[in-house]
Chain A
Amino acid sequence: KQEVTQIPAALSVPEGENLVLNCSFTDSAIYNLQWFRQDPGKGLTSLLLIQSSQREQTSGRLNASLDKSSGRSTLYIAASQPGDSATYLCAVLTGANSKLTFGKGITLSVRP
């Protein structure tokens, strides 16, 4: 059974800092890994999708990497801003039914 872990559960950083959010998964036979952003009480916004054959994806100040063999992904946020404050979820797609398994998320607070 696939398990996705995100540690720590919460993170507080000063504005302008570069930061890395970690995600690990137990079954390396994934189709892809997707990073989402969720604002309090809101829906999920897809940030980046990394196919299993890819090593990284970039969008603006965000860069996500994938090391499938070690079961790890990182989301790098450059020059963090208070508007980046949200919960960041990673999810992996695995299995015959192509099931999406989520981590519990990392709640990021960027202090002005």
Chain B
Amino acid sequence: EAQVTQNPRYLITVTGKKLTVTCSQNMNHEYMSWYRQDPGLGLRQIYYSMNVEVTDKGDVPEGYKVSRKEKRNFPLILESPSPNQTSLYFCASRKRVETSYEQYFGPGTRLTVT
């Protein structure tokens, strides 16, 4: 089944303890991205990657890192999580559709930082 998977789905951690949220897609998509969703603020892009070894900042990159060593995986790294990073996180990939793109989203990771 074509899909975007994320792990873990739920995570409770403490301030300052490094964590990684994994994202993988099996559709051979070149473009992948990370979003966070917060009440009243909607979905905001954190980082995106146009292809392997090519990453760039989105709207809210502070406090996050990413890497793209292989096409299928795009992990999100929080080196020193803080409570303001408590949020619902989505990984996405996209495929080419005629002259534009269609986005596919993972199931989400609910992160709580205490």
Chain A contact residues, CB within 8 Å of chain B: 31-32, 34, 36, 41-46, 49, 51-53, 89, 91, 93, 97-100, 102-105
Contacts and interface: CB of A to CB of B under 8 A. Distances in A.
Given A43-B106, A43-B108, A93 B101 contact: yes
B108 A93 contact: no
A31 B99 contact: yes
Given A44-B105, A100-B45, A51 B90 contact: no
A31 B106 contact: no
Nearest to B44: A102
Contacts, number: 61
A63 to B, nearest CB: 18
A51 B98 contact: yes
Nearest to B104: A46
Interface of B: 31, 33, 40-43, 45, 48, 56, 58, 88, 90, 92, 97-108, 110
Contacts of B105: 36, 43-46
Given A51-B97, A104-B40, A105-B42, A46 B103 contact: yes
The 10 closest A-B CB pairs, nearest first, are: A31-B100, A104-B42, A44-B105, A43-B107, A32-B100, A102-B43, A43-B108, A49-B102, A102-B42, A43-B105
Contacts of B56: 97
A42 B107 contact: yes
Contacts of A97: 48, 56
Contacts of A98: 31, 100-101
